[in-house]
Amino acid sequence: MGRKVKGFFAGKRPWSIIKDQVLGSYMSPYIAKVNTLGRPILLIDGYAGPGVFEDGKPGSPMIMCQAAERYAKGKWQAIFLNNEQEYHDKLTQVIQRAGWSGSAKPRLGDSMVLLQTLPATLKDQSVFLYLDPFGPTGCEFALLQPFLERDPKYSTEIILTMSMPGMPRLAARHATSDGRQEERSIKSNHLLLTKIFGGEYWKDILLSQSGTREEREYRLIEAYRAKLAGYLPYTGFCPVRDRIDRRIKYFRQGSKGRQRT
C-alpha cells in the first residue's frame, strides 16, 4: 500500500501529529529498555515514506533513528520499506545527510512482499515493527503472525495503525442485511476484512444492528486486541481523532512480547 496521495507529506495533519507523538513518546523508553538486554536492535518501518515532511517535520523513520542514536548508538539497525521510488530516494538522502547509512537501510519494493521475507532473516534481535499504511489494508494478520510467533525469549514489539473509516464501508452492513452478500464486490471486501482481522469474528460486530458506529468500532478493536493477546502478553490501543469533537479516524494498536530470562 503506497502513500502516493497528493499533498500527503506536505505537512502533518492533526491525526499525523498525534500518531507521531505516540510513536515518539514510545521510542525513547523502548530503545533505552531493550538496549539493556545486550542484543542487537532491529527497527522495521513497513510504510516509511520520505522520512521528512515538506514543512521539515520528522516522519517516522527520523523519529525512530533519533531515539536509537540517542539510547543505543552503534547497537541498532533499521529497515525502511517504500514502494514509491520518489519516497525511497528522498528517504535515502535524509538518512545519508544524517550520517545513519551504516545502520538504516531503505528498501524499495512492495512492502507487503518485503515484510513476508523478513521473519526468515531474524535471529536474536530485539525487533520493533511499525506499520502505518495508508488506508485499511497493509496490516493483514498473516503479515503479523510470523512476528507474533517468534520465540518468546526474544523481544518483539509491534505498533500498527488500524484505519477505521474504511471498515464499515468494506462490511457493507446495509447491503448485507438486504441479502446482497454474494455479490462479487461485497464478497471480496468481506474476505479482505477477514484477512485484516485474522478471522470472521468481525461479522458479529460490524454487521450488527445494535449500538452506534463508534461502539461497534470499539468492540471490534477490543476483539482484535484479544486475538493479539493470544500471542503476546501485553496489548493495548488508543483512538486517534481528526479533532476531539470528531469521529475516530484510526486506532493505534500496540503489542509487546515478553523476554524470558
d(CA 90, CA 87): 5
Q: For residue 163, what is the enclosing H or E element?
A: strand 156-163
> Would 90 be classed as within a structural domain?
yes
Q: In this predicted structure, what is the pLDDT of residue 258?
A: 54
From residue 233, alpha-carbon distances to 144, 218, 228 in Å are 15, 20, 9
pLDDT in tens, the chain (261 residues): 444 444 445 445 565 777 888 899 999 999 999 999 999 999 999 999 999 988 888 999 999 999 999 999 999 999 999 999 999 999 999 999 999 999 999 999 999 999 999 999 999 999 999 999 877 788 999 999 999 999 999 999 999 988 887 888 999 999 999 999 999 999 999 999 999 999 999 999 999 989 998 899 899 999 999 999 999 889 998 887 766 666 666 565 666 665 543
Residue 189 lies in a domain: no
Question: Does 205 map to a domain?
Answer: no
Question: What is residue 134's predicted lDDT score, i.e. its pLDDT?
Answer: 78
Closest CA to 255 of 219, 228, 230: 228
What is the H or E stretch that residue 97 is in? helix 85-98
Q: For helices 184-197 and 141-148, give the axis angle rounded to 10 degrees.
A: 20
Does some domain include residue 137? Answer: yes
**Nearest to 50, CA basis, from 5, 80, 20, 24:** 80
pTM given for the model: 0.88
Q: In this structure, is residue 180 part of a structural domain?
A: no
Tell me which residue of 133, 189, 190, 141 sits closest to 162, measured CA to CA.
133
In a domain, 200, yes or no: no
CATH number for the domain harbouring residue 218: 3.40.50.150
123 assigned to some structural domain: yes
| 36 domain-assigned | yes
Q: How many domains does the chain have?
A: 1
The whole domain housing 221 covers 14-164+211-256
Instruction: Burial-class residue 63 by CB neighbours within 10 Å (0-12, 13-18, 19+).
Output: buried
Backbone angles phi, psi at 79, to 5 degrees: -120, 120
Locate 69 and state its grid cell. Answer: 542514536
Strand ranges (E), 83-134: 104-108, 126-131
Instruction: Output phi, psi for 209, to 5 deg.
Output: -90, -5
- CB neighbours of 27 closer than 8 A, spacing ≥ 6? 63, 64, 67, 68
